[in-house]
């Protein structure tokens, strides 16, 4: 046992007898109370405080809040699971999301901050001197955010169902109430400081089991180094080959994504990230353009902690899972009936296959599978009746087990037999990741409805108090819709989120990019481009996922028929948007002279100085 494992195990003795359930209740109660207190103490009455935290968030704090906002339930709960199951092909999430954030920070964020508005539709409406474009952008923001927030609510439900032993919909309701309260009370100000705390919770919760697993499997406490400088990769490749799967590190393996689909998916995630309204609006909360640049730098540092650890954790989890379950012996089978809330669900009691070289291993009960089976997220079927679980490859899946990818991060501490408080801490981190992103998305929906639609089209004389009140009611309504889709999601958490990225790629990114760098782009082009990109992408996704979204027997479209999956179709939508926008803009009158001067003033820093001077103290006045 390594020193770290000894430390983690010894810590549990401080509360000997406390189960994972008890620890989870303690952590959840403490953290949720902190979130609610921050929301109450940060409550605001003015629109500037409600929408952009009064433009007064320090760069490092905004960097932490941005990282928490951006690292959603998909990043925390699902990304390592997807990489673990997809191997090399799963790296598309890593490359797409990370590359997109760099693209946003370097290419767009400083210019959008200099523009100095509240929302992305604000930018679109002013830049394209069109209320029609503002309305379309507002609906795009609402649609994207609702798609994205459904994944977060699903993540909350999964954590609650497993670790607090309640149905998924109970967890979704609790998450709705908590995020609703601190978002309604504090607006962006309350959400920002809550996200700072949530970042601390989620990053600690993610790193501790990764470090412990790295010590156990590679002997190196740094997961990234353990993955690269140990034999864990070759061992996993050999294990995969023994079970009939492609090597874990083999790219574009049979049955996986084609090279075209990987490229399109990565591109969609990348430009979709750069177009996500809840991430963009975080740069509006800083005091100046210079502060926006520094907050982007800090966010990149914070995000890299999780994103460089996730591939290592995925490899460790895959190895641990296969070694634990393949060949496990079936001790008994319990069938739940209607009185248990389930009809015919089989609960397998398993023990390890045993290893003569490992005195801890022979006959050891695999306790963690029991609770996960009761959530329905792991199922076993000893089809050949030999009393042994077979994890070999059968048509691209495990022969006698079905495992939901979303549980990999949550189940890994239990599989590695870490202390109960570590397991509970990971569950609390998953909740923090989901709630932080959900809160940011709620505010985007609120500002789109209350500021971009209500104030601009229904009541231009509305008082500050009335505008804030409308924003708060918009959050309440959005939470209700998000809760429904959280209980009835159209796919895995990360896949649901991937759809949001595809829609953002097809709608916002092209018009923001051209709005900053091409002064000839006009309102006719932007409107046509957004409509074509969004309708094309949304229609393709709806047709390819009709069975999940509309409940029909079969999808209306084979999402591999064109060589591009539903997750990657946003790349095509983005290119369509760009082409339509450029062509229509050149065929219609140029923007007014004042708009062209506005574009130049946003892109070109005030004064004449070198680009490096933007980080100088003397440049702050210009910003």
pLDDT tens for 118-168 read 788 888 888 888 888 888 888 888 877 887 777 777 777 777 776 777 777
Q: What one-character DSSP code corresponds to residue 377? A: S
pLDDT tens for 321-367 read 888 888 888 888 887 765 555 556 788 888 887 655 555 555 778 88
Burial class (CB in 10 A: 0-12, 13-18, 19+), 34: middle
Q: SS in 3 state form for 395-440?
A: CCEECCEEECHHHHHHHHHHHCCCCHHHHHHHHHHHHHHHHHHHHH
Q: Report d(CA 156, CA 588) in Å as an integer.
A: 48
Give the pLDDT confidence score for residue 528 in this predicted structure: 92
The residues near 535 (Cβ < 8 Å, ≥ 6 apart) are none
> Domain-by-domain residue ranges, the chain?
61-322+420-603, 329-416
Give the pLDDT confidence score for residue 491 in this predicted structure: 54
- The C-alpha R_g of the chain, in whole angstroms, comes to 25
Identify whether the C-beta of residue 219 lies closer than 8 Å to the C-beta of residue 5: no
Residues of the chain with pLDDT under 70: 1-17, 116-117, 162, 253-256, 337-344, 354-362, 489-498, 548-551, 559-561, 604-623
pTM: 0.79
Give the pLDDT confidence score for residue 15 in this predicted structure: 46
Give the pLDDT confidence score for residue 489 in this predicted structure: 63
Q: Which CATH superfamily is domain 61-322+420-603 in?
A: Sodium/glucose cotransporter (1.20.1730.10)
Q: Report d(CA 490, CA 567) in Å as an integer.
A: 12
Identify whether the C-beta of residue 342 lies closer than 8 Å to the C-beta of residue 373: no
Q: Is the dihedral of CA 150, 151, 154, 160 positive or negative?
A: negative
Which of 425, 349, 404, 395 is closest to 163 using CA atoms?
Answer: 425
Give the pLDDT confidence score for residue 91 in this predicted structure: 81
Terminal CA-to-CA distance of the chain, rounded, Å?
A: 55
Q: Quick one: tokens of 95?
A: 């490359």
Give the pLDDT confidence score for residue 568 in this predicted structure: 85
Residue written as token pair 């209980």: 487
Q: Report d(CA 138, CA 415) in Å as an integer.
A: 45
Q: Quick one: tokens of 611?
A: 């680009």
Give the pLDDT confidence score for residue 362 in this predicted structure: 59
Is 177 in a helix, a strand, or coil? helix
Give the pLDDT confidence score for residue 99 in this predicted structure: 85
Strands 378-380 and 393-394: unpaired
């Amino acid at each position: 046992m390594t020193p770290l494992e000894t430390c983690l195990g010894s810590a549990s003795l401080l509360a000997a007898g406390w189960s994972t359930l008890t620890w989870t209740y303690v952590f959840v109660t403490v953290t949720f109370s902190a979130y609610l207190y921050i929301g109450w103490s940060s409550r605001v009455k003015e629109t500037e405080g409600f929408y952009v935290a009064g433009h007064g968030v320090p760069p490092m704090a905004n960097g932490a809040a941005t990282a928490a906002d951006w690292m959603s339930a998909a990043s925390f709960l699902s990304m390592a699971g997807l990489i673990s199951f997809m191997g090399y092909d799963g790296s598309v999430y890593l490359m797409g999301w990370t590359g997109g954030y760099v693209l946003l920070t370097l290419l767009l964020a400083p210019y959008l901050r200099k523009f100095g508005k509240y929302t992305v539709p604000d930018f679109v409406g002013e830049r394209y001197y069109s209320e029609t474009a503002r309305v379309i952008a507002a609906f795009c923001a609402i649609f994207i955010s609702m798609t994205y927030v459904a994944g977060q609510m699903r993540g909350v439900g999964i954590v609650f169902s497993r670790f607090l032993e309640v149905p998924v919909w109970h967890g979704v309701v609790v998450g709705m109430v908590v995020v609703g309260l601190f978002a309604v009370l504090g607006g962006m100000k309350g959400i920002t400081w809550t996200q700072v705390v949530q970042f601390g919770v989620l990053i600690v919760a993610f790193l501790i089991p990764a470090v412990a697993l790295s010590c156990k499997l590679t002997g190196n406490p740094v997961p990234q180094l353990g993955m690269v400088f140990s034999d864990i990769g070759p061992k996993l490749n050999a294990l995969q080959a023994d079970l009939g799967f492609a090597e874990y590190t083999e790219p574009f393996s049979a049955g996986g994504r084609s090279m075209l689909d990987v490229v399109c998916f990565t591109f969609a995630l990348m430009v979709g990230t750069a177009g996500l309204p809840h991430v963009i609006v975080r740069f509006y909360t800083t005091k100046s353009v210079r502060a926006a640049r520094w907050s982007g730098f800090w966010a990149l540092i914070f995000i890299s902690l999780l994103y460089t650890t996730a591939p290592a954790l995925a490899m460790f989890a895959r190895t641990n899972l296969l070694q634990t379950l393949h060949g496990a012996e079936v001790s008994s089978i319990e069938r739940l009936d209607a009185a248990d809330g389930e009809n015919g669900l089989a609960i397998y009691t398993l023990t390890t296959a045993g290893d003569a070289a490992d005195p801890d291993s022979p006959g050891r009960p695999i306790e963690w599978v029991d609770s996960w089976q009761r959530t329905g997220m792991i199922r076993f079927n000893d089809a050949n009746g030999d009393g042994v679980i077979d994890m070999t490859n059968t048509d691209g899946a495990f022969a006698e087990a079905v495992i939901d990818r979303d549980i990999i991060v949550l189940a890994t501490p239990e599989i590695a037999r870490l202390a109960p408080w570590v397991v509970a801490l990971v569950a609390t981190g998953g909740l923090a990741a989901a709630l932080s992103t959900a809160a940011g998305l709620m505010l985007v929906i609120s500002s789109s409805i209350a500021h971009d639609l209500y104030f601009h089209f229904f009541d231009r004389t509305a008082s500050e108090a009335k505008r804030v009140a409308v924003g708060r009611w918009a959050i309440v309504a959005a939470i209700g819709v998000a809760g429904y889709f959280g209980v009835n999601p159209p796919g895995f958490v990360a896949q649901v989120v991937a759809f949001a990225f595809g829609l953002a790629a097809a709608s916002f990114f092209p018009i923001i990019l051209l709005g900053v760098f091409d002064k000839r782009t006009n309102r006719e082009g932007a409107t046509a481009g957004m409509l074509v990109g969004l309708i094309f992408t949304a229609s393709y996704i709806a047709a390819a996922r009709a069975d999940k979204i509309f409940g029909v027997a079969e999808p209306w479209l084979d999402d591999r028929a064109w060589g591009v999956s539903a997750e990657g179709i946003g790349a095509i939508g983005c290119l369509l948007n760009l082409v339509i926008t450029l062509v229509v803009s050149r065929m219609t009158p140029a923007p007014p002279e004042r708009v062209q001067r506005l574009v130049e003033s946003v892109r070109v820093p005030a004064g004449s100085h070198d680009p490096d001077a933007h980080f100088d103290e003397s440049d702050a006045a210009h910003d």
